[in-house]
Amino acid sequence: MSVDLHSVFRNTRDIDTTLRTFVLRAAASGEPSAEIICGKGEGKLRARVLTYLRQPQVAKLVKSAAVDPDNEGRVVLRF
């Protein structure tokens, strides 16, 4: 399961809505992992994603979140 944030990266509200919806669906799906594609670029979107994932209500759902060592434009979530 994955989500690509390239289509919503310019709108803060859309980013938050997309992340919230994706994390809830991914956690409920029963899959052990999921990925968020935020792109390489300057890393601003990746930083925003990681900040979102550290929020207490989200951290309860996600066991770990880390930038893929082979592709810095991808964040891998473990449930």
pTM value is: 0.89
CB 65 within 8 A of CB 76: yes
> What domains are there in the chain, each with its CATH number?
2-78 (3.30.1370.110)
Query: CA-to-CA distance for 60 and 44, rounded, in angstroms?
Result: 24
Which pLDDT tens digit goes with each residue over 24-72? 999 999 999 999 999 988 889 999 999 999 999 999 999 999 999 999 9
Residue 49: what pLDDT? 96
Backbone angles phi, psi at 76, to 5 degrees: -105, 130
pLDDT classification of 9: cutoffs 50, 70, 90: confident
